[in-house]
Chains A and B, each alone.
Chain A
Amino acid sequence: MKLSELKKGDSAKIIAIDATEDLKRRLRSFGVIKGSELSVETYSLAKKTIEIMVDDTLIGLRAIEAEKVEVEKITEGKN
């Protein structure tokens, strides 16, 4: 499934990133690569932006970019 389809509180593992080299490079330097684990912290209004946590770092991304990250859910959030 896509990162943008996760719910608040879910955690997941990245399986693939299908983006331009530019965006991939940016994500990589934050440690967002295939195999990293992340959790979804919050969404902004209308799911425009999404805050995720990777390796203890909080990162804000646009939903359009989150769509390009393919993930596999590990645990479901409580809410």
Chain B
Amino acid sequence: MACQSCNCSTEGDTKQGKDGAGLEAIRVVLAGQPNVGKSMLVNAMSGSGRMKVGNFSGVTVEKTEICFEHHCHQFEMVDLPGTYSINGFSKEEKVAHDYLMHESYDVIINVLDATHMQRNLLLTLELLKLNKKMVLALNMADEAAKEGIEIDVNQIEAVIGVPVILVSASTGEGVDALLDRVHEVADSRRRQHSRILYSDPVEEEIDRVAHFFDERGYSYRDLSSRELAMRTLMGDPVIYAALHDHPIMIELQPLIAASLEHIYTHHESKNMDEIKANEYTAVARGIRLETVHCKREKRRGKSLTKRIDDILINKYFGIPIFLFFMWALFQLTFTLGALPMDWIDAGFTAFGDAVGSMISHEGLRSLIVDGIIAGVGAVVLFLPNIIILYIGIALLETTGYMSRVAFLLDGFFHKFGLHGKSFIPLVTGFGCTVPAYMATRTLKSEKDRLITLFILGFMSCGARLPIYVLFAGAFFGPDQAGNVIFAIYIAGALLGLVMAKVLRVVVFKGEDEPFVMEMPKYRLPSFKLIWHTVYQQASGYLKKAGTFILVASMLIWFASTYPKVDAPSELGVNQAKLYELEHSYLGQIGHATEPFFAPLGFDWRMAVALEAGLAAKEVVVSTLGVLYAIGDEVDAESSSLITQLKANVSFASAIAFIVFVMIYLPCLAASMVFAREAGGYKYLLYLFLFTTATAWIFAFAAYHLLN
């Protein structure tokens, strides 16, 4: 029988296989603590690479669905953000909580890190209380084996009462078996009872209350009397609502009061959350002691992670090392990226010439050569730089270094009213601002989140890199350009910090948020993982160049070529060209807005490029490419954009331009995401005013200081 691939919508409103009867998709949700490999496991199970994987807590920030088939069964899988406990409080942990509590699904796959069983089991114990069908996936089997950890899977299964599978998302071990078990569990009627035992006083009281329920013949739904007793003791509001009007309540009340007193005395606390935590921790520890064995004698020496930490988060060298890495990255971005640039440039120029010589119609030739090829070429030119930048960011994300830097910088960030965790969205922002805005969801305090959202634009995204590379290359020697780019990024980041402080003092006053953050194990990222991330980003960049930038270049070309005006006859050829350009639509727009930009030393072309850059930052370069390509003959013989810029733009204006680009509003797509994440378009207006004013003032200062 042929399988049909399912095509469920991403909204997940219906869950019907295409064949109708018998092929209904199994709806599975992955839950687990952060950084245990849920997303990677989904990738392994579905054979795709869609889920983003990274070695720090909070990679996944919203639920993501994927559909696939396995042995002719349809699976609909939902990958949730990791959550340390079911009542997690940051925005992305709430997503997990809400989904688990309120959505409908068939099976939970609770993913655990086999090398951190005890802590991971705390969440498992909470999930068991949901009374849903569940399968435990003990992930990272490969790491556990390497560390000499042996796990008695059958014993865990016997204690917890749900199927347990040892898997490794990275080697693929156990993944098939896991899917088969999920399918079995989905078909089964209900799950086995668990054999989890609490401390003696609690067990005694559970027995007492359960016995009471049995005697009175009271039952609630399909709960066993033990389960019912447990929930009553823990103060489950649902049970209380059901019991409230029942006559046994009169007898039950004093019984519960006495039982609780006993438990309170034992735990020296009357806080039920704390008592639960104590009990769960004891149970988790018990299960670990019983089922996890470390073959190797616990090495007296330090683990690799600790030894690396001794260097990387060294009190004195930690921050200098981090700065060095960043410097090296930008240095490489420029120098290594410059190598293939000449070839790409030469390729596009030759291509333009070849195409140009084949087209006889002058207007069409100009559109294709000066419009499309010049515009798209100007963007593609920077692909090598972008790739190197993304490799750097991917390394930061996948090795485990990211959380360390957050740890190092928290003290410093805290002074500026930011949270150490803000570092994660800020670094993501060096790549692209859109996912960075989303990554702010890991910040628990709404104020921290808003401040981070507001300053994120100051972290120059990858699309601004071409502008910097272009200007740094044009106005500084090749040996200086790398440093200049590094300085630009650092300046942006520092400005962001200062602005955070301003916002904290003026607008978002408030309580500090605690900093408690897991430091993951260092992991050597697989080539596949890095390749996948970088490939996706690079192909996205090229796709954008081939679609969006192409259309934008055409528009810019049209707007700069029409309306055709006749230049006064006394002008020479060069001046006539310039005259026509200045009287085009684009020239008119440029001239109309020139007064706003004139104090910053920008000519109308730069003004237009900046305005076009509101759509996407790549367009700044492509617009400059088109504008200077049309005015090509103005300058005697040269053709490259760099030489054009040098001839037409003063040093002070160039610096002011860089400063303006560094600060002003991110692209349209990012702006929309900002409005959504911040909670309204009103915030986008604030952001626009805030960034434009800051950009203008700083560019003005830069221009006048240097002039």
Contacts and interface: CB of A to CB of B under 8 A. Distances in A.
A31 B118 CA distance: 8
Contact of B84 (A29, A35, A41, A58): A29
Contact of B414 (A34, A43, A62): A62
Interface string B85-124: 1011100000000000000000000000001101100110
B406 interface: yes
B257 to A, nearest CB: 24
Contact of B309 (A23, A28, A31, A51): A51
Interface residues of A, number: 33
A45 B318 contact: yes
B129 interface: no
Contacts of A26: 84, 89, 514, 516
Nearest to B520: A58
B277 interface: yes
A25 B122 CA distance: 12
A27 B278 CA distance: 12
B324 interface: no
Nearest to A61: B516
B273 interface: yes
A42 B315 contact: yes
Q: Is the interface of B mostly helix, strand, loop or mixed?
A: helix
A51 B115 contact: no
B517 interface: yes
A44 B407 contact: yes
Contacts of A45: 315-316, 318-319, 411
Given A30-B84, A51-B519, A44 B411 contact: yes
Nearest to B90: A26
Given A43-B315, A44-B313, A58 B519 contact: yes
B87 A25 contact: yes
A36 interface: yes
Contacts of A56: 115-116, 118
B515 A62 contact: yes
A43 B274 CA distance: 28
B64 interface: no
A6 to B, nearest CB: 15
Task: Identify which of A21, A24, A36, A56 gathers the most chain B CB atoms within 10 Å of its CB.
Answer: A56
Interface in A49-66: 49, 51, 55-62, 65
Contacts of A27: 516
B401 to A, nearest CB: 13
A60 B516 contact: yes
B184 interface: no
B333 interface: no
A57 to B, nearest CB: 6
Contacts of B306: 41
B408 interface: yes
B281 interface: yes
B420 interface: yes
Contacts of B203: none
Given A29-B122, A58-B518, A41 B411 contact: no
B410 interface: yes
B119 A31 contact: yes
A59 B519 contact: yes
A42 to B, nearest CB: 6
Task: Identify which of A21, A23, A28, A33 gathers the most chain B CB atoms within 10 Å of its CB.
Answer: A28
Contact of A62 (B115, B315, B410): B410
A48 B414 contact: yes
B517 A59 contact: yes
Contacts of B407: 44, 49, 51, 60
Contacts of A60: 403, 406-407, 410, 420, 515-519
A23 B599 CA distance: 51
Given A25-B85, A55-B116, A57-B119, A31 B519 contact: no
B527 to A, nearest CB: 26
Nearest to A24: B274
A45 B316 CA distance: 7
Interface string B392-409: 000000000001001110
Contacts of B10: none
Interface in A1-34: 21-31, 33-34
A34 B281 CA distance: 10
Given A58-B519, A59-B517, A59-B519, A51 B313 contact: yes
A49 B411 contact: yes
Contacts of B539: none
B305 interface: yes
A5 B404 CA distance: 22
Interface in B679-700: none
B411 A48 contact: yes
Nearest to A68: B514
Interface string B320-348: 00000000000000000000000000000
B404 to A, nearest CB: 8
A23 B511 CA distance: 13
A44 B619 CA distance: 43
A35 B274 CA distance: 12
B310 interface: yes
Given A51-B407, A57-B119, A60-B517, A44 B315 contact: yes
A23 to B, nearest CB: 5
Contact of A57 (B116, B319, B408): B116
Contacts of B514: 22-23, 26, 61-62, 65
Contacts of A29: 84-85, 88, 122-123
A65 B319 CA distance: 22
29 contacts: A22-B89, A27-B516, A28-B273, A28-B277, A29-B85, A30-B84, A30-B518, A31-B118, A31-B281, A33-B274, A33-B277, A35-B278, A41-B309, A43-B315, A44-B313, A45-B316, A45-B319, A45-B411, A48-B410, A51-B309, A56-B115, A56-B116, A57-B518, A58-B518, A59-B517, A59-B519, A60-B410, A62-B411, A62-B515
Ordered nearest first, which 9 A-B pairs have the shortest CB separation? A48-B411, A29-B84, A58-B519, A29-B85, A60-B407, A28-B277, A62-B515, A60-B517, A23-B514
Given A35-B281, A59-B516, 17 more contacts: A21-B273, A23-B514, A29-B85, A29-B88, A30-B119, A31-B122, A41-B306, A44-B407, A44-B410, A45-B316, A46-B411, A48-B410, A51-B313, A58-B519, A59-B518, A60-B410, A60-B518
